[in-house]
Structures are given as C-alpha cells and as structure tokens.
Amino acid sequence: MKHFYYSIGFLLAFCLPAYGQDVAKEYNLQEVQVTAKRHDFGAKSSQMSAIAISAERIKKLPMLLGEVDVAKSLQTLPGVQSGGEGRAGIFVRGGDYDQNLFMLDGITFYNPEHLQGFTSAINADLLDDVVLYKGAFPSRFGSRLSSVIDISLREGDMEKHHASITAGMLASRIQAEGPLWKGHTSFNIGARISYFNAIVNPLLKEVVYDNPGQMNNFSHMKYYDINAKLTHRFSDKAKLNAMFYYGRDDNNATPNETTRSADYNNNIEFGYLAKGIIDNTSLTQRTNKWNNLLGGLFYEHQLLPSLRLNASVSYSGYDYRLKYTTQTSEKKVIDNLGLDKPALYSLKTQDYNTNYISKVQDVSMQASISYVLKDKHELQAGVQLGLYKISPEINFSNYLYTKKLASDLLAELISLGYGITIGEEDYGIAEQNKQNSIAGKGSVTSLSAYIEDDMNLTDWLKINMGLRLQGYDADGQTHLQLEPRASMRLMMSKGLALKMSYARMSQGLFMLTSASLITPSEVWMPLNKEMKPGISDQVSAGLAKDFDNGIQLSLEGYYKWLDNVVDYREGVSIASVNKWNALVAQGRGRAYGIEFMAQKTEGNTRGHISYTWSKSLRTFDRPDMELNSGKEFYAPGDRRHNFNISITQRLSKNWDFSASWTFQSGRRANISTTTITGGSLDEYNDFHPGVTETNYNYALNPNFNYLAPREYENTCFEDIVRIDTYRNRNSYTLPPVHRLDISLSHHGNIGIGELICDIGIYNLYNRQNLSSVYWGYTDNKPALKGVCLFPIMPSISLTLKL
C-alpha cells in the first residue's frame, strides 16, 4: 500500500501547485442552465426502455486511468452488463455483443473500442449526448436485435473559436472549434493519441503487479483517432453537416515463453530403461490490429413549421486482423547410458499459426420526413438503403518437425554392446505441413421503409404505433421481415405513468466470437443460403414517476425471445473445413429481467442508483447444429445481479467530486473441467527385459507426452494426446466484481484560459477483480489461475481550455 500513498502524494504535489495563487482567487465561471431537454423519456413520454446521457454527465463520472469513456458510462445503467472488468464492451438485456447498434451521428460504428476494449473509441470532447434504447424501439431503427446506442456529435460554435488540450496517463487529446464563416459555417475537430506503454504499463509492472508477466498480453498497445464535424447553415431553415472519423489500434503481445522440465523415466522399445530430462517449451505471440473509417453528409430542411425533411449518405469501413502464433518443442535427453554427455533421444517442434481477418464496407442512404399535426400526432416516415460487402477469412497452418534417435546416440548404443534391432521408424527426421483457409466474400443489400405515429389521444393516454418493413437480399435469396412496434403510456396520477411496449427487430449481419476470455476473435459474417436473419421479439412493462425536484424513478420488467442467433459449432476444427457454414450453428434464446433506476438530474447533487436482476439463455438443438447436447445453457452475457450507484457533487465554483460503486455477478465462460487422454500403443518388442516394479510403476504425467502402462508387458503408450473439455457450455462463472471509483476536479484561471485538474482513483479499496482465468501449473500440477489487470489505479489529467 505504500506505493499507493506515494502515488497520491505525487499527484497532489504535481497538480495543486500548478494553480499557484489563482486557486484562492474567485474565478467567475458562467453557469449554463439548460431549461429544455432534448430527450425526455420520463412519465409524460410514450417512449420507455430508453435513457439519455448528456456529455456533461459522462465527463464527470470517474473512469479508468481518467479517460472519459462513453461505453463505460453505459455500463452503470440498468439492463447493461459489461463485457469484462475494465472493458468497454456491453451486453444489453441478455443479447450478444454484435446485437448492439452503435451509431455515430447516424453512421454504424462496427468496433467502438480502443485498447482491446479497455477504453471507448468515441472522443468525449466532441460529444453532444448519448441515447440508449433497450426496447420499445422507434421504427426508424433496425438491423440489430438488442439495443441502439445513438451517439450525437456537437456542432461547432458559429460565433467564437475555442480549443482545449488534455494530457493524461493513458492518452493526450486536442480539440478545436469555431466559425469558418461567422454565423454560417463552423467546424469541430478533435484528435487523440495513446502512450499506454510509456506510463501505465511500466507503472503496473513495477508498482502494482506481483507477477509482471501478466502484462505481456498488453505490452504493445497503442491507438490514435481523429474526428471532425463541419456544419453549414444555408438559412435558418436548412443546414448541411459533414462528419469524418478515423481510428486505428495496434495491440501486439510480447512473446510469452514458458518452459517446464522434469525427470524423464520411460521404457523405449529397444530394451532398456531410459532416464534423463524432458523439456517442454511453449512460445506464444499475438498481433491484433483494426481500424474504423466513417464519413457522411446529412441534410436537414424545415420545409414548413410542422414539416421537416432529412436526407443522408454515409460510409462505414472496418478492417480487423488477429494472428496467433504458437511454437512448441519437446526435447528428451537421456543421461544414464554411460556416455560422456547426455544424449538427445528425440526432438519434436510444432508451429501453429491462425489468422483471422474481417472486413466490412457499408454504404447507406436514407431519407425521412416528420410532420406534427396540432400537437396530437407526430408522424415520421422514411426509407433506408444499405449496401454491405463482407469479407471474412480464417487461415490456419500447422508445421510439425520430428527428429528421433539421433545418429550419434545410435552409434554410441551399438558400440556399448546393446543388442538392439533398429527399424526406420526409430530414427530419422519427419516433417509435416498442414494448411487450410476458410474465406468467402459476401454482399447484403438491405432495404427498409417505416412509418410511426406518436399519438396524444387524451391527457392520460398516449400511444406510439409504428411499422417497419425490412428486406435483405443475400446470396441469391430475399428475406422479408415485417416488424411491428407499439408502446403505450397511461397516466395514473400526476407524474406517475404505466407504460407497456412490444417491438420486433431483425438482423442481417452476424459476428462470430470465440470463447476466449483474454483475446476473443471477432469475424463479421453476412447472410447466405443456409443462414436466416436473426429475429427478436420483446415485451416490456413498467412504471415511471417524475418529481418536481428533478428526481425520476422507473421500474421495468421485460421478456425477450431470440431466434437464429449464431455461435461456433462444437467439435469442428478450422483445420478440417473450408466452408463458413460448417463452422456456424444457429439457435434460439430467451432473456428476461427486472430493472430499477432512480436518478436526479438537477441541482448541485446529481446521480443515479440502478439495479438489474436478469437471466439470459440459449438453445441450439437443430439437426447438425447441436450445442451442449441440445440442452439449454446460459449465454455469455448472463449475469444475475448488477447494482450501480453514481454521485456527482458540486462542492464550490471551483471544485467537483464524483464517486461510483458497482457490483456485478461474475461473467460466464467455457473453462475445461475434464481431460480425456489417448495415444498410440507401441508394438511388442522381443528385446524388452520384461516387466518390473521399477520400470513400469509410472502413472500418467499430466505435463508431458508419455504414459508407461501397468497392465501390458513389453508395450507402452507414446504420442499422448490430451483433450480438454467441459461438462456444460458456459458453466464456469468468474467471481463477482465490485469496486469503488472516485474523482476530484478543480477548475482554475491561469490567465490564458481555464485549467482543469482531474485526480481519480480506480478501484479505491483494491479489490482483486479477475478479468480472465486460465489453466496453468503450480509445482508441476494443473491449477486454475486468475488475472487481475486493474487493481487500485490512481490517475491524473490536466486540461487547458482556451
């Protein structure tokens, strides 16, 4: 703990003197009071299962390493589960990760994460607000089954220029905005670059971790991104927005080498007891890269006071690459032959290479109109066209080199008078090279039309009715889905409403994700002749209560049916198939739960409390697609309990404090619980001296590749193969996760602008939350080990606003 106190002292010493005497001066910051809400999903609205978060609220939440994170702010909301400790990925209401539609200014964002998911790819300096839809989806949204995350960027200031520079422990960023043509054209641009390896990684290795090798998987991680928005106003009624985003990640793991040695006692076939040393060495390396490219034009025209037209064209490109390289060697050295030095008996080396590639090109066009009729009806209608080109690919290679009974050992054995008979199979060199590739380009055309009406029928009854017609054309087949949407709000008393909803959604693109807890592979796949679009049907009901002091309460229950969800088939190796359909299984699922949220959005004290109880299950029982023997099993995103409390407090004009405490049940994964052993039985050898207690009383060594049997004379097992398996799919649950995060922010004037110092502590009481587990060895015995990536983590960042 002394390192923690040293770190806090360093942060305070570094931060506070930077203000000098200006800290004591009164700095009259202008208070901006927002009187109108852009999104109001309270008791008066017919919309339910939706939450809006402002940029100001997101920036004030304490975050990992002080980096403002859009996705992690969503994890504090009811119905949202994190993808793992410290990670930005989310699972919403029992859905899978690929069932979330992330949209940046209306453009699909296929991978909104940096640093393997430890931080969001959205630059919060340009952020306007974020709206999360978990159910009761408006008919203008489609193409995903579980959620829509609508992220809006702020338009640049039309009158004045502003800029900000931020330096933190994880990354630095710069943002600038202002007019290009005062009153008509503005820009807003921001960029970030990380230096994880310069500060955070060495700090974790030297100060925090008992085993610095835990950071090998994260030793060469870096990212950068640039985001810009250009706005031009033709008049008070018409404007054009242009948006651009590019982000890139390079996550390469340091080669991780492990070596295990033990005494070697084994009967080999030419008639003596061999003793010596056996060494098993494994060298693993991973390279992971991806990038996102987004761009679009958005036109908005207020044709009449009650009639508005919107049109847009956009592009989203995604390129993901993951490569695993594993080199193993097994060397047996014999030292009981009376030779001058130990002799090599056998050497076996093997190189495994697996390369995952996923490319997505998405061109979208859409047009819509909205019409308000006498405050009784708000009509929206539109058409959307999407052209998708998907290029998934997996390449596999396995090179095996075997050298057995080296010639120098053979000569020594003969010279020592060993009466042996040697066949060709007992010595020499053997090589084997196996390769396989699964690749296939596919295209999907998506065409949809929708209409909805938000009807204010009476003071106490409001109904939203919508219908979406969704069509997919892929691989010579056309799939049509009719997706009805309906929600109702019934006012029971002042500020208290009963809400109910139903929504059907469909999905034409899927992402196959491996079950790895450390670095799962992610490959997007299109529809084809054998794969059907995913479908979800969700019903929900709840109560909403608004109070006059900015306090809102909500209680919701939901039940969701999922059909045609995807997963990898069991028992199928990428080395033995050459078609995607041979790897993919489709099944069904269901999820249900109860959510509670209380939030306060006004005053000096703000925050929210949320709790979720939920279940998420899957069933794959279709012929040739059975998983878990066709029995129902828990989904990867299944977590029983999720509790969060977040508070922000304005202490004075210059000081702000925030705290967040979270508790989540452990996430689920496949961990091997059973080992099946097999091998080849060596042929009978007449020269064998016979069975004795000494040379045959050996059991299976779990670390190495041999087995001396007890039951048969003159024989032994070689080339032992151990297959790790599990009894039930996703049957292992990691320990629960809980932690307390705090942050303290100070605003001060230094003459040239406003200086903001943010000090934060992630995981204040140093809870050892496990981000992953794996099978390792302790004293040459198998042991399940866990990795805690982020124990207590102090952080500091400085922002200068000009």
Residues in the chain, pLDDT under 70? 1-38, 85-88, 201, 203-219, 253-278, 332-346, 403-431, 514-521, 575, 675-724, 780
pLDDT tens-digit map of 459-471: 899 999 999 999 9
Which amino acid does the sequence have at 245? Y
Quote the pTM value: 0.83
Instruction: Evaluate whether 447 touches 384 at the Cβ level (below 8 Å).
Output: yes
What span, in angstroms and rounded, lies between the C-alpha atoms of 195 and 165?
16
Burial class (CB in 10 A: 0-12, 13-18, 19+), 782: middle
The pair of structure tokens assigned to 590 is 């269901």
- Interatomic CA distance for residues 404 and 406, integer angstroms: 6
Sign of CA dihedral 61, 64, 67, 71: negative
Q: Residue 794: CB partners within 8 Å, gap ≥ 6?
A: 4, 7, 8, 11, 759, 760, 761, 762
For residue range 233-249, list pLDDT tens digits in order: 999 999 999 999 999 99
pLDDT at position 12, please? 39
In this structure, which amino acid lies at residue 427?
Answer: Y
Residue 275: name the closest of 335, 346, 344, 331 by CA.
335
| β-bridge partners, 773 | 786
Ranges of H-type helices in 337-429 = 407-415
